[in-house]
Amino acid sequence: MPRYNLQKMIKLMLPGIFLMLLAPVIHSQLHDLNVIQQQLLNYMPPLLGGLAIILCISFNQGRLLLTTINLLCLFLLIQNQLQTSLSQPANFVLFSGLSLLFPLLQLFINFIPERGLSSRWLLRHLPVIISGYLFFWLAAQNHLLSAWFSALPVGLIQMFSDPYLLSQWAVYLFAVSTLLGLVILWFRATLADACLVIITLAIAAMLALFGETSVSVLSCTLGLILILFTVLFNSYSMAFIDELTGLPGRRALENTLRSAGRRYTLGMVDIDHFKKFNDTYGHDVGDQVLRMVASQMKQAARGASVFRYGGEEFTIVFKGMDEVSAIEIAEKVRTAIAAYPMRIRDKNRPGDEKKGRQQRNRSSRPEGTTEVTISIGLCEKTPQHKDSQAVIKQADEALYLAKQQGRNRSVASHIVQPRARKTSS
């Protein structure tokens, strides 16, 4: 198992793991709630669920929407039908059915590709989630469940481990759902997939400890909080993070400049002859170039913030620095990219990142690589600049001058003799 994939999975699961660790602490305090506070707590899952549904629809989070509905349906059925002892045959049958239905539906949701929301998409998937709970609700309303008790298989009657209340079949199904969810998380590596895995585990724990006071309210509330966090974080990423390079985008740049203070230097960066890469090798290679430049800029621009401005343009913000200090870092960024052996990906490229780095480091310019260079224009914020847009405009002018002087160089607006250190190809 490659280490970097494992680290990424753990990082994605940290918010959910934190909530699961917090749950026992919160549960220990629930005994001190009075009747009114307990009633207010019971309203939390429907309120949070309604908010989560609105946000999921607003930000086209289809799988999280289905998970929210799965969680809400489970909670509502528990609240309305399972508030008395499981020793009653009808309650035991309903509990056993729900312990199979929830992980089965989570397994179904895991395999759905995230393609946004549409009426057709909802009509295809929503009935699958609702129909199972509707079936059990109608059976409970018509007093049919107790008659099914004698027909339950041994796998649903026999508990997996005392004193926990999950049956053998339920444990197996939760285990399959969780393991396949982890496999999907491994390949997709999204926060939504991590959220689905954690919620599956949380509901398994809740059903196993079903005899504890308010355990269903607490588990569903924390699960819905995790969904809300995931939706909001995903919406933030879509608005502020460039998906291709992983760098903050132009909106994030605007926010940074508003709080950058009176002293900073801004660098506008452009990839030289970028159109050539797209025309010669295709847009896939062009995307490789953009990702490589972004990665090298993040590593080399120590003490500065890097942004994807748009197209083949990037921006570097040097907070608290004048042009003299900023151009030194800019030159490190420029030379790091110029010296990088950009290997065009092919079928023989190693899948492991460590092996890929070893292959690139075998020589300074291995066969089958190409050179990528950048030009940088810098401008220091001065009292003469009306706002950040004026700084960007002057940095753009310096960038244009760097292009005119032959590319692969850094030019600062207020330095009389701009540095022109061109790296030989």
Does the pTM surpass 0.85? The reply is no
Residue of 114, 212, 243, 312 marked active site:
312
Query: What does the pLDDT read at residue 34?
Result: 84
Give the contacts of 246 (CB within 8 A, at least 6 positions apart). 294
**Per-residue pLDDT tens listing for the chain (425 residues):** 344 567 778 888 899 999 999 999 888 888 888 888 888 888 999 999 999 999 999 888 999 999 999 999 999 999 999 988 999 999 999 999 999 999 999 999 998 887 778 888 899 999 999 999 999 999 999 999 999 999 999 999 988 888 889 999 999 999 999 999 999 999 888 899 999 999 999 999 999 999 888 899 999 999 999 999 999 998 888 778 888 898 999 888 988 898 888 899 999 999 998 888 888 778 888 888 999 999 999 999 988 999 999 889 999 999 999 999 999 999 999 999 999 887 765 544 444 545 555 544 544 444 457 789 999 999 999 988 888 999 999 999 999 999 999 999 999 998 754 444 444 43
Query: What does the pLDDT read at residue 9?
Result: 83
In DSSP terms, 380 is beta-bridged to 265
Helix (H, G, I), strand (E, B) or coil at 295: helix
Nearest to 75 by CA among 43, 53, 30: 43
In DSSP terms, 271 is beta-bridged to 374
Q: Name the pairing type of β-strands 369-370 and 342-343.
A: antiparallel
Helix (H, G, I), strand (E, B) or coil at 62: helix
Number of H helices, E strands in the chain: 15, 7
Query: What does the pLDDT read at residue 423?
Result: 47
> Which letter, b or e, does each residue of 154-187 get, where b requires 16 or more Cβ atoms within 10 Å of its Cβ?
eebeeebeeebbbbbbbbebbeebbebbbebbee
* Measured distance between the N- and C-terminal CA atoms of the chain, rounded to whole angstroms: 39
Nearest to 98 by CA among 31, 6, 170, 161: 170
In angstroms, the CA 156 to CA 168 distance is 6
The interaxial angle of helices 250-258 and 388-404, nearest 10 deg, is 120
Q: Is 397 a catalytic residue?
A: no
Query: How many residues are listed for the chain in this entry?
Result: 425
Residue-wise DSSP of 132-199: HHHHHHHHHHTT-TGGGGGG--HHHHSBSSTT---BHHHHHHHHHHHHHHHHHHHHH--HHHHHHHHH
